[in-house]
Structure 1
Amino acid sequence: MSFSPRFLSFSFSYFAYFAIVGLVVPYLGVFLDGKGFSSNDIGELIAIFTATKIIGPTLWANAADKSGKLALIIQLGAGLSLLFFSLLYWVNDYWPLAFVLGIFSLFWTAIQPQLEVMTLVSVRRSAHIYSRIRLWGSIGFIISVIVAGEVLVESHPDAFVTLGWWILLALFISSLLLKQPVVKKKQASERVSIVPKVLQRNFMLFFIAGLLLQISFGPYYSFFALYLRDLSYPSVAIGAYIGLGAIAEIGIFIIAGRLYYLFGPKVLLAVSLFLTALRWYATGTLAESPIILFFIQLLHAASFGLYHTASIQYIQQHFAVNEQNRGQAIYIAGVYGVGGALGAYLSGLFWLDGKGSVLSFELAAITCIVAGGLACLMKSHQKSSNTI
């Protein structure tokens, strides 16, 4: 599998998908700031952009369940994302921007859940192989975030759109290389409700902890690049520091499958959350020091890399094969959709054009401490032999 065409096609798709993540997530705030919007406006626009994850994954998951054509859905999402992103060249006012960003994000949400399911089905739900494919996403993110940091911070806002257009074109091309895995199409009678599994105590604790984690990411995703700019970091350093977090992910993704097998989700999730609390507190109070900021950004390995892998594997074990799309959709809609939108909106309220940066990161740290406490209340999950 490691050097098969299927491995390469999935790796290429992750590379391209997370390259656009490396542009949009850290620098959408910079783009909007260049358009002259206030921190309140930026928080609201990023919240609107993020809120589409509340409904988008469910719509696409239902389409995937009914059609079974996951590859086609990914291709449709990539193509229409490219089309609507291009409209950013011509819109400048609040509501047109909100509309374009929302529709772009709606189609963008079609890609990752289906890609995750296709990958895990193709590698027989092996955390070891999945992690090695997923690390190519981190490589794409690193390259994109460093290049974009150099280009965008002191450039015209249209540079953001130009970079995004080329990356989305690459993503669309990569989606055409994916081959639909052979999956038995399920009859309607086989479709069972996943509500009982969603309402299980362990899953609810897991879900709420993830929701709080995403809320805590609000200041980082919305304003971190602007925060470093205000601290007088040069543009190349801004991209390098954001990319450093992704570099730290790579080592975690390589060994995450083994860690999951050894410790299970409860330990990994709790450790990730408490380390993230430390990260946010230090970001708000010590980021003026380049050396300290270097070590702070290495904690992204825990707050995203380790947490993401543990979460995906937990969902894979918690839901049956014929429940995977819906389970992924509920998680992404609730955690990334609701949590991300709330985090962006609240950070916009507290940021105050930079005057509330320390308070924003301190509140993010407290949020993660609460989330870590919830993870500690989870029961240990039985570890399966297919996790490595």
Structure 2
Amino acid sequence: KGSRNYFRSLLVLFLALGTHYGKVYLLDVQGNITQKFDVSPVKINQISLDESGEHMGVCSEDGKVQVFGLYSAEEFHETFDCPIKIVAVHPHFVRSHFKQFVTGGKKLLLYERGWMNRWKPSVLHEGEGNIRNVKWRGHLIAWANNMGVKILDMISKQRITNVPRDDISLRPDMYPCSLCWKDNLTLIIGWGNSVKICSVKERHASEMRDLPNRYVEIVFQFDTEFYISGLAPICDQLVILSYVKEISEKTEVECCARPRLDIVQPLPESCEEISSDALTVRGFQENECRDYHLEYSEGESLFYIISPRDVVVAKERDQDDHIDWLLEKKKYEEALMAAEISQKTIKKHKILDIGLAYINHLMEKGEYDLAARKCQKILGKNTELWEFEVYKFKEIGQLKVS
């Protein structure tokens, strides 16, 4: 509590948090600390977990890189003469023939364990500034440096694309690139206020010549209203964590506002906003774009928003949540209709309870005729409820007999 959480990585069963003070904490889904690692005396720059959740890679500002098993004695250490900003372990690191990981500082280095269990480094890329982000999915590695985003095919060991950075006026360390694989062949890039969704495709044999056997097509591209701190897929839509600045009404000076979590529907050259929520996190007035991160749990629609002092868990709204919101806004007619449509899937609400609350609401507003008309549909043939409601109408002098 109170420490600056500089990076995180999410698996279904736990969350890993690295702090400014060189410690790594494993938290369960309720936020309870289950394990603690003293990795470095300085800040943790990034954490990477394989898909099994059994191996973790950690890099820190003092140039240390560690890859180790959470449930085994397997361990690798390396110290560089410069800060290491990025580490990514192979998604299937747990398997013996996939003992690989990459690190990023001034170079993008691939480490592979070979003969006699020795680790062999090789340079994948250098010469375009610091490596800012890396995401590994299947046989594809995507990384961002000062110039743009590259993708490497690990099977052919060929670089298959270069997606240039749009707004070169933004400092890449202050407005970092967000990368996210939607699936094995779809990469989502968010940088500044620009979003690109890229599809990796196979090149036809007749087009090969000296070209890589794969290429990348940008299928969606659009700009957002605010700067992007993180993004994640949700079905065919996107969840975008936005860094917001606004003009203060009191001082008329630009200041940091609460971050936003938006759901948008990508269109070929624009997007449609589906929902938008402002998040309340401590110290948002002092935060920068780089201080927020977004991670998600595939298949569970759980999203983790990390700020320097808080972790916020967001989940996709279900119909029960929607009905809660309608009842809170006293939109009883709409709540009743929503419950009737989704009666097989709602778990929290009952149609009868909503209907009775609707009748009470109408009576409190003095709309007795409408309340009486609704009784027929809501009460049905339940004689006990009819007796109770008739008595209520009689008590307030609104029982009419014709």
- Normalised by the length of structure 2, the TM-score is 0.23
Q: Which has the larger radius of gyration?
A: 2
